[in-house]
Structure 1
Amino acid sequence: MLKRRGLWGLILGLLVGLLFCVQGQSVRASADYTISPYRVNVQVLKYGDANVTQTMTYRFDDGYHGVFNVQDIRGIQGGKLTGVQYRVNDGGTVTGVPATDGQNGSYELTQSKQRLRVKLYQTVSDGDQMAVTYRFHLRGVVKNYRDTAELNWKVIGTGWDVQLNHVKVTIQLPQTKVSKLQAWTHGPLSGHTQVDRQHGRVVMTVAQNPAESFVESHLLFPTTVTATNPNKVAKNRLVAAQQQEAKLARQANQKRQQAQWLRWGFFLVLIALLVGCGVRSWWWYHRHPANKYAHPTPINHAFDVPGVTPALAQSLADGMSPNTDALAGEILAAAARKEITLEPVKDGRKETVKLTKNGEQTNSFLEKCFAQVGSDDSFTLQELKTFGKHDENDELNKWFSEWQEPIDDAADTYYDDKNLKLRERLIGTRLGLSALIIVTAAASWLLGVTVGKVGTVVGLIVLIVFWIFVGRFYRRIDRNNAKGLDQVNELTGFRRMLKDIGHFNTAEIGDLILWEQILPYAAAFGLAQQVADKLAVDFGPEALDTDLVVFYPLFYGGVGLPLGDALSDSLSSALQSADTSSDSSISGGSGGFSGGSSGGFGGGSGGGAF
């Protein structure tokens, strides 16, 4: 079984690894802030300059003194900062003022031939949100060639050390209805470029731009759009630029196609693996059928005392190791055998039950409790709870497990070992194939929204049908052998009688001596108090006081203590307290981003928090 689990673990591990490879995600240490959204609006002027507005929203997970922004001006004719504004959380907009004192609301500007660096001071704390807007005027961003005007610019540079989310860059030309406007964007291949020739505008969007990655915009448009631009180059540029971008676009589209084929390959491998594992599993179960037995006629209500102990009765009826209800039943049985005495007492203001040792114990759990819980060969349920709360070595659970072992061994003779292993294997098969179905359905989203929706619906249908089929097959595998089926049939009828005790006159079924033998089984099935209450109605208090000597003080002594609940609940509470386990467009129209670079100016711009 361990080998099978290891095999499924290996398969799922490989699937997860392949999924990460297909998605191409890189692992980075995250900063204590995120930026979302990130907006850049560029207004190109007729003389080739541009007014740039950058707006970014920081979301902080730690305290900071402020933020900074770098605007790269290499490759153009210079620039200047024209304004800084910010807003913290839902407060009002604050206009930054130049200063060197580091006070909130002030900023420092450092300028060179290569860059403009703005350091804005504003103390923020964990959970704060701050939207910052920078305005720049950049000179000479457009070049007018003989045959075309060109704007080639890394609008977002590689200087950001965190991922930018929900990025949108808008470039507005000084003229509308630019029929020969072409635009390409280089950056993440998941981005999209929208060329709006009617309004002379280009809009670039991408959900995430990774840290240290750029977004570069390359625009070509008629020279008449920037007719007064003094930045002129006396040569042709249009054809060379178009050919360069066509090459980059083909490369990007090829990468997209390769990635799509890889995703389809991954998806088809998953389907093949799913079908292969499913067929192989079916063939294995076909060659290894379960042992079949004739089932006895179901007994509706059984009234005879079972021929097995209360703990074994509960274990067989539920098909599991005995629980604390079963232990409570065994404690009542020990009291009936006079091995122990049970009596209601008060521990301070709390009502509890005292257990006193009368002689040699057949119950290993009680023997350990008498030795280490309480004193003078006695202990109370309250003392047991207290012991459990301070049981750093988990002794109670060890004692309980040791008590369960011989009962589990006795139950084994009623089980079919081959069928049990088959049921266990079937559970592993169900979990493994279910995980494979879920992973396959999830992988369909890598192929697009439409395929993802279809894959999810089909996967859900397959999963439901598979679980129904496996459930029916599982129920047809008997865990009991012929002996066990007969015994469980009797126990099931006996428990059903106890559950339906309100429909019978218990005095007509048998005398109180019989019911004294039955009460431990009722406790093992969690029905002791229900049965005791019915006996009080049918026999009357005088008969109970006279003939139900052992249990009368516990169930009817007037102390207000429901023993059937208190005994099992106290054992369960003590054991739980003791549990210490640790828990791209070639033509320049709208389309996707391209990879590579067209050599635009800038590229070192970025920012962060300090």
Structure 2
Amino acid sequence: MRIRISNALAVVAATAALALSCLFSAPVVARADGFDMHSVNIFATVLEDGRMLVSESRTFDFDDDVNGVFWTIPLGENQQGHPTSLEQVSVRATENDQQVNYQLVDSANNGDTGVYTVENDGDRVTIKVFSPHESGEQGSFMVSYIINGAVMAWSDTAELYWKFVGDGWTEPSHDVTLTLGFSGEAHDIYGSDGSVESKDWSSDELSDLGVRAWGHGPLDATVQVGDMGDPVARFTVPRVDSGEYAEARLVFPVSWVPDLQVSSSARLETILDEEAAWAEEANARREEARRMVAAATVLSVGSAAVLLVAAVGLRLTVFKSPKPMFQDTYYRDVPSDDHPAVISAFMCDGDVGDAAFVATLMKLTDERVIELVCQTRQKRGLFGSKDEDSYSIRLVDRARATGPIDIDALDLYFGPGAQNGEEVRFDGVRANADEDSDAYGERLDGFKASVGAAIEMRGLLRDSSHAFGLTVVVLAVVIGVASLFATIELETSVLALLAACAMAIAAAAVAATARRYTREDVELRARCLALKRWLEDFTRLGEAVPQDLILWNKLLVMAVALGVSDKVLRDLADAVPRDMRQDELGGFYYPVYWWCYPHGSLGSPTRDLSSTYGAISAAALTASANSSSGGFGGGFSGGGGGGVGGGGGGTF
């Protein structure tokens, strides 16, 4: 119904904000199905004969039960046409913070543990590590081997050309680090006394020797040469996706591999030309990426800013309710002939709350359909009996209730088919609602539907801004999701993401809370506000009660519908001279006054009944629930691909 549109928009806006906040709190890179490799550390040492000792450590987080993990390392030829090979493969695992050596076996079965197999089919070497793990567990493994063919000696330089992460891994490799060192001359300094010390290379020293390094693969990876102590170079890659690779290329003096056969061909100029071309291509791609990042940042922040400005501007101009003609401070009459529950819901933008229900029962009391009763009964306890007061309502003349709102209110409190003379305590209703929440939920829906239908028939709360609000909310969600996508895929600034989403959410809130009511709506609202103001200021103004007590009684009911406090209600009742409202025995001439005062040891009956309505709403809700920062670094290029090694792996 139309009276629910504003609430629906508010819910949509809140949902959008919640969805965006949930997206903010989600990790930028989600864990893949099966396993996640969040740490990869590779240490490689080039030996004097050109072979390379490799130790690769990977930490796996398993999302499924596995029997183990495996590596595949391709075999082929290097740039000199020499075949590559692997030897001295070993495996270690970290178990209970201890390094455990696994045993090489010829064959193993799923379920075995602490063993590994090495299979060479001529094209590749497959290393299978048998170590069963359950979903949610973590495993750390180190595979060590010596690879032949990754290093080549030319007439003018020596070259390392090696894929240290291959494109065959089934899931991304995160936080990859390759630390590269050398043995022999590149590593040791021999003193005159025969002592040997490790050589700490500076970047300038290595540059003078002609040592240069390049990386191929993800453009956000970096290469460092020298200034690290013993290692000569370090390659750092934040992430290598499945299907991608990371490759290292290094040129260095031939004297560092004295036992490696030297080719008669020169190679250095070719290497430098290739790397220069690939670096130029990579820089062009980085520049294009920077432009894309800048454009995406401007687009996300700019579109959010435009949306916010447009939402504010339209709300202040086009989607603005007309100014009421009634401008008086006070209004001293019932604002309209509408039912008190209708007035209450109207002032709450269609929400049928406890004030609507209490005002309805007060109205029925004033019309002598029901009567409010304060009972005193004895309650037995561990230390004897004691008197206990409680409120109840007695059905006096059901036939007097003719309107659908009144009938549904009686059904909600007493139950369908209640007969005259039946009496139900407030606490009894609360207990029954807990026991039969489905039935009370249906009756509560019926009462709210009757009030909503009356508002609809009167043509009230016909907000013409709901399409505007819904459109802005949808656009805000689109901008927020697009900005998050740009942050993940293009690595735009997180600050830009937060700014764009903050402005988008603000625009959604501005639009979702916009109201453009009819002239009748704004006039009725102005009279209701003026009446509530007069009732709250009545005792301070020192005005006399109107001579028409029938009208005054209706105003007492209207005061509850408009949400005045219990104290104000008592003050309004006290404003009527005692002899005009009470007889000599303390009874009230007009039964509605029973609602204005506390009785016995009890508090205000209006507050107590409001709690009862809240208990019904809570029970109905239970029943319903039961049913239902960025940028790109330097160092790597996108070329290459000619290095040996690579391969991949996964789980089995």
**What does residue 406 of structure 1 align with?**
454
Q: How does 1:51-66 map to 2 (within 5 A)?
A: 51-66=53-68
Q: Distance in 2 between matches of 1:27 and 1:384?
A: 51
Q: Distance in 2 between matches of 1:508 and 1:119?
A: 94
Pick from 584, 587, 612 the counterpart of residue 570 of structure 1.
612
Q: Distance in 2 between matches of 1:407 and 1:67?
A: 67
SS at match of 2:587: helix
**What does residue 181 of structure 2 align with?**
172
Q: Distance in 1 between matches of 2:478 and 2:109?
A: 61
Give the conservation status (yes or no) of the 8 Å contact 1:317–1:492.
no
TM-score normalised by structure 1 residue count: 0.75
Q: Distance in 2 between matches of 1:568 and 1:555?
A: 15
Give the conservation status (yes or no) of the 8 Å contact 1:446–1:452.
no
Code of the residue aligned with 1:324 in structure 2: it is D
Give the conservation status (yes or no) of the 8 Å contact 2:595–2:605.
no
**What does residue 108 of structure 1 align with?**
116
Give the conservation status (yes or no) of the 8 Å contact 1:248–1:595.
yes
2:397 is aligned with 1:389? no
2:263 is aligned with 1:233? yes
Q: Distance in 1 between matches of 2:483 and 2:73?
A: 45
2:240 is aligned with 1:209? yes
SS at match of 2:640: coil
Q: Distance in 1 between matches of 2:507 and 2:409?
A: 48
Pick from 40, 45, 48 the counterpart of residue 47 of structure 2.
45
What displacement does 1:73 show?
4.3
Give the conservation status (yes or no) of the 8 Å contact 2:408–2:443.
no
What displacement does 1:142 show?
0.8
**What does residue 188 of structure 1 align with?**
218
Q: Distance in 1 between matches of 2:173 and 2:133?
A: 20
What displacement does 1:169 show?
1.7
2:362 is aligned with 1:332? yes
Q: Distance in 2 between matches of 1:374 and 1:139?
A: 90
2:587 is aligned with 1:546? yes
**What does residue 561 of structure 2 align with?**
524
Pick from 626, 635, 638 the counterpart of residue 592 of structure 1.
635
2:616 is aligned with 1:601? no
Give the conservation status (yes or no) of the 8 Å contact 1:187–1:216.
yes
2:523 is aligned with 1:483? yes
SS at match of 2:98: coil
Q: Distance in 1 between matches of 2:523 and 2:242?
A: 69
What displacement does 1:409 show?
4.2
Q: Distance in 2 between matches of 1:517 and 1:544?
A: 24
What displacement does 1:328 show?
1.6
Code of the residue aligned with 2:131 in structure 1: it is Q
Give the conservation status (yes or no) of the 8 Å contact 1:512–1:544.
no
Q: Distance in 2 between matches of 1:436 and 1:103?
A: 48
Q: Distance in 2 between matches of 1:303 and 1:571?
A: 29
**Structure 1 residues 603 and 543, CA, compared in 2 at 3 Å: closer, same or farther?**
farther
The answer for unaligned runs of 5 or more in structure 1 is: 17-25, 584-589
Q: Distance in 2 between matches of 1:596 and 1:114?
A: 24
**What does residue 86 of structure 1 align with?**
93
2:125 is aligned with 1:121? no
**What does residue 33 of structure 1 align with?**
35
Range with bigger deviation, 354-363 or 267-276: 267-276
SS at match of 2:398: coil
**Structure 1 residues 287 and 453, CA, compared in 2 at 3 Å: closer, same or farther?**
same
Q: Distance in 2 between matches of 1:219 and 1:78?
A: 20
SS at match of 1:168: strand
After superposition, what is the alpha-carbon deviation per residue over 1:243-271, rounded to whole angstroms, capped at 9, x for unaligned?
Answer: 22222222222223333333444445556
What displacement does 1:550 show?
5.4
**Structure 1 residues 41 and 398, CA, compared in 2 at 3 Å: closer, same or farther?**
farther
Code of the residue aligned with 1:86 in structure 2: it is A
Code of the residue aligned with 2:557 in structure 1: it is P
What displacement does 1:359 show?
2.5
**Structure 1 residues 151 and 432, CA, compared in 2 at 3 Å: closer, same or farther?**
same
Q: Distance in 1 between matches of 2:114 and 2:479?
A: 57
**Structure 1 residues 303 and 430, CA, compared in 2 at 3 Å: closer, same or farther?**
same
After superposition, what is the alpha-carbon deviation per residue over 1:553-582, rounded to whole angstroms, capped at 9, x for unaligned?
Answer: 996443747532332333343344335378
**What does residue 250 of structure 2 align with?**
219
What displacement does 1:493 show?
0.5
Q: Distance in 2 between matches of 1:467 and 1:214?
A: 43
Code of the residue aligned with 1:593 in structure 2: it is F
Give the conservation status (yes or no) of the 8 Å contact 1:73–1:116.
yes
Give the conservation status (yes or no) of the 8 Å contact 2:215–2:248.
yes
**Structure 1 residues 402 and 295, CA, compared in 2 at 3 Å: closer, same or farther?**
closer
**Structure 1 residues 84 and 336, CA, compared in 2 at 3 Å: closer, same or farther?**
same
What displacement does 1:144 show?
0.5
Q: Distance in 1 between matches of 2:177 and 2:487?
A: 24
What displacement does 1:211 show?
1.6
SS at match of 1:578: helix
Q: Distance in 2 between matches of 1:508 and 1:607?
A: 89
After superposition, what is the alpha-carbon deviation per residue over 1:285-310, rounded to whole angstroms, capped at 9, x for unaligned?
Answer: 768886444562434xx776665543
Range with bigger deviation, 47-56 or 196-205: 196-205
Q: Distance in 1 between matches of 2:167 and 2:227?
A: 29
SS at match of 2:141: strand
Aligned pairs, how many? 569
Q: Distance in 2 between matches of 1:235 and 1:291?
A: 89
Give the conservation status (yes or no) of the 8 Å contact 1:267–1:443.
no
Q: Distance in 1 between matches of 2:547 and 2:144?
A: 95
Range with bigger deviation, 249-258 or 367-376: 367-376
Q: Distance in 2 between matches of 1:331 and 1:41?
A: 82
**Structure 1 residues 600 and 271, CA, compared in 2 at 3 Å: closer, same or farther?**
same
SS at match of 1:421: coil
The answer for unaligned runs of 5 or more in structure 2 is: 20-27, 78-82, 187-200, 381-387
Range with bigger deviation, 351-360 or 57-66: 351-360
Give the conservation status (yes or no) of the 8 Å contact 2:168–2:243.
yes
Code of the residue aligned with 1:183 in structure 2: it is A
What displacement does 1:123 show?
3.6
**Structure 1 residues 60 and 509, CA, compared in 2 at 3 Å: closer, same or farther?**
farther
Q: Distance in 1 between matches of 2:397 and 2:583?
A: 27
**Structure 1 residues 480 and 575, CA, compared in 2 at 3 Å: closer, same or farther?**
same
Give the conservation status (yes or no) of the 8 Å contact 2:532–2:559.
no
Give the conservation status (yes or no) of the 8 Å contact 1:344–1:553.
no
**What does residue 359 of structure 1 align with?**
398
Percentage of pairs with the same residue: 20
**Structure 1 residues 236 and 542, CA, compared in 2 at 3 Å: closer, same or farther?**
farther
**Structure 1 residues 478 and 195, CA, compared in 2 at 3 Å: closer, same or farther?**
farther
Code of the residue aligned with 1:592 in structure 2: it is G
**Structure 1 residues 34 and 43, CA, compared in 2 at 3 Å: closer, same or farther?**
same
Q: Distance in 2 between matches of 1:276 and 1:127?
A: 45
Range with bigger deviation, 351-360 or 476-485: 476-485
Q: Distance in 1 between matches of 2:111 and 2:507?
A: 66
Code of the residue aligned with 1:59 in structure 2: it is D
Code of the residue aligned with 1:405 in structure 2: it is A
What displacement does 1:337 show?
0.6
Q: Distance in 2 between matches of 1:491 and 1:387?
A: 40
